[in-house]
């Protein structure tokens, strides 16, 4: 059985950190990989601010999950 996590506005930051750690990545390495794969130049500070302030875009979350090799599934409650 695969691990499943429920993404909620209150847990975005902690969930991303948990998944990154589980995959052996720091947030710094995660951001470097995102910038490389998606041809971006924004900073780690920018990402951490968005996670802390809960202002990260869905497209950015999809990029994060892609780098961590997770898929996003939307399911009715």
**What's phi and psi for 25, nearest 5 deg?**
-120, 145
Domain spans, the chain: 10-67
Of 1 and 2, more confident: 2
CA angle at 58 for the pair 17 and 48, rounded to the nearest 5°: 35
C-alpha span between 12 and 8 (Å, rounded): 6
The pTM score is 0.89
Residue 63 CB neighbours (<10 A): 19
**Digit-coded pLDDT (tens) for 3-58:** 888 888 889 999 999 999 999 999 999 999 999 999 999 999 999 999 999 999 99
Cβ 27 vs Cβ 65: under 8 Å: no
């Amino acid at each position: 059985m695969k691990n499943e996590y429920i993404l909620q506005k209150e847990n975005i930051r902690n969930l991303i950190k948990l998944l990154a750690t589980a995959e052996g990545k720091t947030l710094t390495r995660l951001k470097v990989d995102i910038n490389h794969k998606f041809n971006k130049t924004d900073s780690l500070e920018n990402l951490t601010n968005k996670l802390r302030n809960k202002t990260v875009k869905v497209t950015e979350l999809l990029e994060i999950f892609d780098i961590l090799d997770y898929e996003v599934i939307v399911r009715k409650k």
